């Protein structure tokens, strides 16, 4: 029976109930997908308000399909961008300049967040800010910082790389930090100030000699530019925030206006990190997104994978006879591609392979059709 019909025949007490820790991309997508399949859902966000952290993001076809499946695609498309080319430069000489044969989109994280939040609110998901989850029990409950305990048929740990749900419930965690890290910021486009150039392209500017310094330039819409400054952690000067224009402008003189704008923002330098857990599920708990599989951003799949897995969880639980069977099926379906994505991302980061261009060769995961999204194709724009 289609879920909408099921809903009409159910009373509130028949509905399965989920408590979700974390209102990030993983938590909100899972909440929407469960709610659309008849669940009652409550989301707890420890932050004082509902908002996105960080700067810009690239969504590939896999993530865009999930957005279409949950009904957030049109909103996302309204204020995002598809750059004409994805260019890689080494010492300011073009290595590759690629146009992709699959749909992709650049946007601010806030825009992506707002688009999913709007659907969650429309679906009647109960979202509480200032509600920190401090522990979870595989028997089916969470405990809040206030001391309150809430029980549920399903507990979702979507509380990011530092997940309390994961760590309190005894999942085994392995953590790798990379030698490099990055400071990500949003600045005005400043096209006029930049002067001559194809400023609508994504440009990944690498310098490996004599010093590893990289600027990733990603236009998000007409007004906003996502700009990220990568340097090894061992380089104190280049990994300091706010970024020091005297380090970056001599190496990237043609980017002066946007580097100067970036230097006015404090920002945060993050080491790249990959985490693995022994299992994604324990009793009634499922870990989704960075709580289960933080990855380096080289393939720009952190949020895309988080959303695909949250959506896939709701689909699996809808298809299976029991919660146990649904959780087992979910991990069996989603884990191989996610593990592969994490390994590919990590290897790409460790070897600094993006410096050699040819991003097209890294688009396997982006082409993967997430579970339950066969009917939600997206057009190349």
Which DSSP letter does residue 34 get? Answer: H
3-state class of 115 per DSSP?
helix
Least distance in angstroms from the C-beta of 144 to ligand 5PR = 32
Half-sphere exposure of 173 (CA within 13 A, CB side): 22
> DSSP string covering 152-203, please?
-SEEEE---TT-HHHHHTT--EEEEEEEEEEEEEEEE--HHHH-SS-TTSEE
Q: Does 58 bind ligand 5PR (CB under 6 A)?
A: yes
Burial of 180 per CB tally in 10 Å (0-12, 13-18, 19+): buried
Least distance in angstroms from the C-beta of 216 to ligand 5PR = 6
Distance of alpha carbon 209 from alpha carbon 168, whole angstroms:
45
Q: Does 90 bind ligand 5PR (CB under 6 A)?
A: no
Distance of alpha carbon 288 from alpha carbon 277, whole angstroms:
11
Distance of alpha carbon 316 from alpha carbon 306, whole angstroms:
15
With CB under 6 A as the contact rule, the residue among 76, 155, 247, 298 that binds ligand 5PR is: 298
Distance of alpha carbon 150 from alpha carbon 318, whole angstroms:
23
**CA 308 → CA 2, 113, 205, distances in Å?**
21, 15, 30
With CB under 6 A as the contact rule, the residue among 34, 133, 216, 305 that binds ligand 5PR is: 216
With CB under 6 A as the contact rule, the residue among 230, 258, 303, 378 that binds ligand 5PR is: 230
Q: Does 289 bind ligand 5PR (CB under 6 A)?
A: no
Q: Does 184 bind ligand 5PR (CB under 6 A)?
A: yes
Q: Does 297 bind ligand 5PR (CB under 6 A)?
A: yes
Q: Which does 230 bind (CB under 5 to 8 A by kind): ligand 5PR, ligand FAD, none?
A: ligand 5PR
Q: Which does 261 bind (CB under 5 to 8 A by kind): ligand FAD, ligand 5PR, none?
A: none
Q: Which of residues 142-161 bind ligand 5PR (CB under 6 A)?
A: none
Task: Closer to ligand 5PR by CB, 230 or 277: give it.
Answer: 230
Distance of alpha carbon 64 from alpha carbon 61, whole angstroms:
5
Least distance in angstroms from the C-beta of 159 to ligand FAD = 4
Q: Which does 189 bind (CB under 5 to 8 A by kind): ligand FAD, ligand 5PR, none?
A: none
Q: What angle do CA 316, 320, 324 make, to 5 degrees?
A: 90
Least distance in angstroms from the C-beta of 8 to ligand FAD = 31
User: What binding mask, one character per residue, do residues 348-367 give for ligand 5PR by CB under 6 A, x or -?
Assistant: ------x-------------
> DSSP string covering 45-79, please?
--SSS----SSEEEEEHHHHHHHHHHT-HHHHHHT
Least distance in angstroms from the C-beta of 76 to ligand FAD = 15
Q: What angle do CA 339, 159, 373 make, to 5 degrees?
A: 55
Please say whether the beta carbons of 343 and 274 come within 8 A. no
Task: Closer to ligand 5PR by CB, 127 or 216: give it.
Answer: 216
With CB under 6 A as the contact rule, the residue among 23, 228, 261, 378 that binds ligand 5PR is: 228
Burial of 168 per CB tally in 10 Å (0-12, 13-18, 19+): middle
Per CB under 6 A, the segment of 132-140, 188-196, 292-300, 372-380 that binds ligand 5PR is 292-300
Q: Which does 298 bind (CB under 5 to 8 A by kind): ligand 5PR, ligand FAD, none?
A: ligand 5PR
Chain residues that interact with ligand FAD, rule: CB under 6 A: 21-27, 44-47, 53-57, 132-133, 158-160, 164, 184, 289-291, 297, 300, 302-303, 306
Q: Which does 46 bind (CB under 5 to 8 A by kind): ligand 5PR, ligand FAD, none?
A: ligand FAD
Q: Does 341 bind ligand 5PR (CB under 6 A)?
A: no
Q: Which does 216 bind (CB under 5 to 8 A by kind): ligand 5PR, ligand FAD, none?
A: ligand 5PR
3-state class of 87 per DSSP?
strand
Task: Closer to ligand FAD by CB, 195 or 204: give it.
Answer: 204
Q: What angle do CA 318, 319, 321 make, to 5 degrees?
A: 95
| Contacting positions for ligand 5PR (CB under 6 A) | 58, 182, 184, 216, 228, 230, 297-298, 300, 354
């Amino acid at each position: 029976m289609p879920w909408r019909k099921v809903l009409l025949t159910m009373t509130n007490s028949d509905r399965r109930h989920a408590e979700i820790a974390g209102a990030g991309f993983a938590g909100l997508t899972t909440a929407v997908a469960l709610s659309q399949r008849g669940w009652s859902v409550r989301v707890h966000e420890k932050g004082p308000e509902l908002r996105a952290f960080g700067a810009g993001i690239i969504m590939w076809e896999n993530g865009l399909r999930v957005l279409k499946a949950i009904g957030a695609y049109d909103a996302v498309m309204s204020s995002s961008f598809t750059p004409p080319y994805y260019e890689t430069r080494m010492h300011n000489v073009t290595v590759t300049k690629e146009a992709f044969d699959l749909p992709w989109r650049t946007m601010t994280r806030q825009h992506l967040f707002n688009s999913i939040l709007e659907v969650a609110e429309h679906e009647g998901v109960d979202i509480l800010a200032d509600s920190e989850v401090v522990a979870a029990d595989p028997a089916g409950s969470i405990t809040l910082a206030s001391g309150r305990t809430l029980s549920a048929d399903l507990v979702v740990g979507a509380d990011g790389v530092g997940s309390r749900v994961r760590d309190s419930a005894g999942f085994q965690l392995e953590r790798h930090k990379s030698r490099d890290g990055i400071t990500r910021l949003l600045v005005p486009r400043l096209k006029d100030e930049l002067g001559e150039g194809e400023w609508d392209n994504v440009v990944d500017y690498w310098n490996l000699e004599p010093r590893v310094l990289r600027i990733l330039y990603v236009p998000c819409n007409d007004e906003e530019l996502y700009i990220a400054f990568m340097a090894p952690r061992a380089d104190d000067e280049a990994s300091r925030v706010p970024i020091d224009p005297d380090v970056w402008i001599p190496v990237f003189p043609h980017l002066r206006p946007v580097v100067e704008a970036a230097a006015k923002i404090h920002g945060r330098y993050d080491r790249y990190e990959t985490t693995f857990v022994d299992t994604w599920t324990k009793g009634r708990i499922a870990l989704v997104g960075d709580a289960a599989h933080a990855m380096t951003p080289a393939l720009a799949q952190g949020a895309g994978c988080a959303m695909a897995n949250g959506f896939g969880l709701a689909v699996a639980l809808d298809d299976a006879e029991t919660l146990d069977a649904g959780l087992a099926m979910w991990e069996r379906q989603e884990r191989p591609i996610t593990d592969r994505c994490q390994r590919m991302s990590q290897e790409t980061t460790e070897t600094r392979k993006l410096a050699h261009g040819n991003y097209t060769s890294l688009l396997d995961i982006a082409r993967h059709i997430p579970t339950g999204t066969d009917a939600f194709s997206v057009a190349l724009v």
